[in-house]
Chains A and B, each alone.
Chain A
Amino acid sequence: MAKNDLQGALDLLILKTLSQLDSMHGYGIMMHIRRVTDELLIVEEGSLYPALHRMEQNGWVRATWAITDYGRKAKWYALTRAGREQLASREKNWAQVVKGVDAVLRLA
């Protein structure tokens, strides 16, 4: 059975973003998701930072302090190996959820 919930979706979004951007700070991740989904999905700070913190504690992402293009200090996040493995399993998981939800919608 596919195990997922909204939080799982958020984790997936963050992990995928980081795998595409190599390394990014929180604000950048937020803006990236917003941009690529055409403002369809807006990740709130109140969800993003707790999620990033948890991922860092779990060792899925690694964080370093660095200067942004605009001269601000920021905490940059990058995927670790464990993070990449998480991403792979979550992508598979998500595909199953979508398939399941689709099936229910078609029947209804």
Chain B
Amino acid sequence: MGRKKGMTRREFLVSTGAVAGSALVAASVGPFVHTTMAKGKTLRVCSYGGSYQESQRKAILQPFADKYGVKIVEASGPDIAKIKAQVDNKQYQWDVVDLETRHVARGELENLLEPIDTAVVDLSRIDKKAIRKCAVGNIFWTTSLAYNKKALGGKKAAGNWADFWNVKGFPGPRALQDQAPFNLEFALIADGVPMDKLYPLDVDRAFKKMDQIRDSITVWWKNGAQQIQLLTSAEAIYSSAWNGRVNVAQRKGVPLEIVWEGGCLDLDWWCIPRGTPNKDLAMKFIDFAISAERQGEQMQKYIAYGPTNMDSFKYITPERAKDLPSYPENLKKQFQMDADYWGPKLAPLTERWKTWMIS
């Protein structure tokens, strides 16, 4: 006798249970939370993930866990909005956070970060540019002009932002980031403003200069992976890009070059959400993380960002140093992003930027 088509109720329950059970097992072996095993206290660190966080793990987090017997729980995806949620509700998921400058500036404006305890954290060898009230800079990174050497096919490459704006003299599809910060500064530099006279920005002049190039921009990129992908596939031959990512691509064999001239120097910062119960351990961690040896090892071996501890170059070879933003030769060609300018200006200028984009 033939059986009816379809499942019996028992079969349905068993198969559903099997699927749900295997999903639960897979989730519990979860890939995204790295726990460096050590007994004792726990420290929760949040950073930007990917090869960057891996460089921190190898050079800083693991050595800290080993030296002090502390368990480090990592997370990714830091932003000031999530910190605000934690501080407002007094539910802390992070003790130490790696944040970019604009978020730090906003965090200080809204009183979301702990002031750095200079009795615990030794700032004496730290570059002055990397010291703020509630944060310590941990890397220098640069946003600058990058291009695909191979896609240029032997033509002369643009050497600065004025060249980037010169679409006829240096032809090729271009890309820029879809945001106001950095782009307005690049526009002013292309228009001839000296780098030490950029701030406060002449916004009208910057937008007028942006008008000249707007229709030559093929792509307005929105995230870090996109910029490298555009350059690699030659969807854009010229683009603004982050030097660390360009360097990683170069080491994988992608024919990219970065131009230090007119680059925007920026930092990432270690900071502590205000009111976290692990404040003392967090301060100890920051002091450890910004030491010359730790930063030296991180930049030499793992990622091409610039150390903020001036003694770190002792631990870095000269060939490697040339790739780093804070190498003196490279440093003098760049300007530093003024966080205190952008703190209050980000909201109105972002609106003006978006209005300009759709007009």
Whether chains A and B associate is no
Residues of B within 8 A of A (CB): none
Residues of A within 8 A of B (CB): none
